[in-house]
Amino acid sequence: MDLGLSGKRFLVTGGTRGIGRAVVEGLLAEGASVAYCARTPEAVAEAQVELSSAGTAFGTAVDVGDAEALSSWVSSAAEAFGGVDGVVANVSALAIPNNPESWHASFNVDLMGTVGLVDAALPHLLDSGAGSIVTISSVSGREIDFAAGPYGTFKAAIVHYTQGLAYQLAGKGVRANTVSPGNTYFPGGVWTTVEQNDPELFASALGLNPTGRMATAEEVANAVVFLSSSRASFITGTNLLVDGALTRGVQL
């Protein structure tokens, strides 16, 4: 299936590893140009080398919790590409402990990093005529689990925010959707750390999924790439679970 992404221009936050990196690779494979960012300059430089043969991709070190730096990055990328057709808000502080520091980090990075990306990119998305916004939430934003507290609360807020965008922008040629992954396993990710340091929690999390495994980053990215494409032209305001039937509540 041709997703119609050839020549399109995308911005992806947190694009050096995990789900974000898989999204960048998925978009490049479809012929899109991608500007991506991450907080660590070394990770950006390493990803740039690894992606050099995959297509047109530009990495920049940006802390999405810094609203001014985030806006400046969006403006620079839009100028370099001559516009923006889609954004993917992927970064998370992964601040799970229930303490003031985690609440502040989740607000600044997860929620305001998403809002800041959309606010800065929206004029370009409106000019695109077929703009796409995809935000990354989590099953923890839909159900109460071990990440209830700051992480789950702000992941739920992202879903609400995105569905509001979908309604507000539906008549203006911009779609907005959320992808909510279940537990996703990839090298260097949170679940590899848990597997090594807390095997009991890892076994418990793994046992919750009837598939007997966790998602791969590519499986989550496939959903993001599809929702970003013209093949999803009448899909807006949805929260797409990619969780292997992990969640048990009925999504109405």
- What does pTM read for this prediction? 0.97
Q: Does 52 map to a domain?
A: yes
Task: Choose the catalytic residue: 155, 180, 228, 229.
Answer: 155
Q: Does 34 map to a domain?
A: yes
- Percent of the chain at pLDDT exceeding 70: 100
Task: Choose the catalytic residue: 138, 140, 228, 229.
Answer: 138
Domain count, the chain: 1
Domain enclosing residue 123, as ranges: 9-189+217-242
13-47, pLDDT tens digit by residue? Answer: 999 999 999 999 999 999 999 999 999 999 999 99
pLDDT at 252 over 80: no
Report the pLDDT value the prediction gives residue 166, as an integer from 0 to 100.
Answer: 98
pLDDT at 251 over 90: no
Report the pLDDT value the prediction gives residue 250, as an integer from 0 to 100.
Answer: 85
Task: Verify whether residue 8 is a known catalytic residue.
Answer: no
Task: Verify whether residue 161 is a known catalytic residue.
Answer: no
78-116, pLDDT tens digit by residue? Answer: 999 999 999 999 999 999 999 999 999 999 999 999 999
Q: Does 104 map to a domain?
A: yes
- Percent of the chain at pLDDT exceeding 90: 92
Q: Does 138 map to a domain?
A: yes
Task: Verify whether residue 167 is a known catalytic residue.
Answer: no
Angle between helices 67-81 and 112-128 (to 10 degrees): 20
- Higher pLDDT: 147 or 182? It is 182
Q: Does 181 map to a domain?
A: yes
Q: Does 140 map to a domain?
A: yes
Task: Verify whether residue 137 is a known catalytic residue.
Answer: yes
Q: Residue 225 has which token pair?
A: 């790439």
d(CA 206, CA 125): 39
149-199, pLDDT tens digit by residue? Answer: 999 999 999 999 999 999 999 999 999 999 999 999 999 888 999 999 999
Q: Does 201 map to a domain?
A: no
d(CA 17, CA 217): 9
Q: Does 198 map to a domain?
A: no
Judging by DSSP bridges, how do beta strands 86-89 and 131-136 pair with one another?
parallel
**Contact partners, residue 209, CB within 8 Å, separation at least 6:** 182, 183, 243, 244, 245, 246
CATH number at residue 106: 3.40.50.720
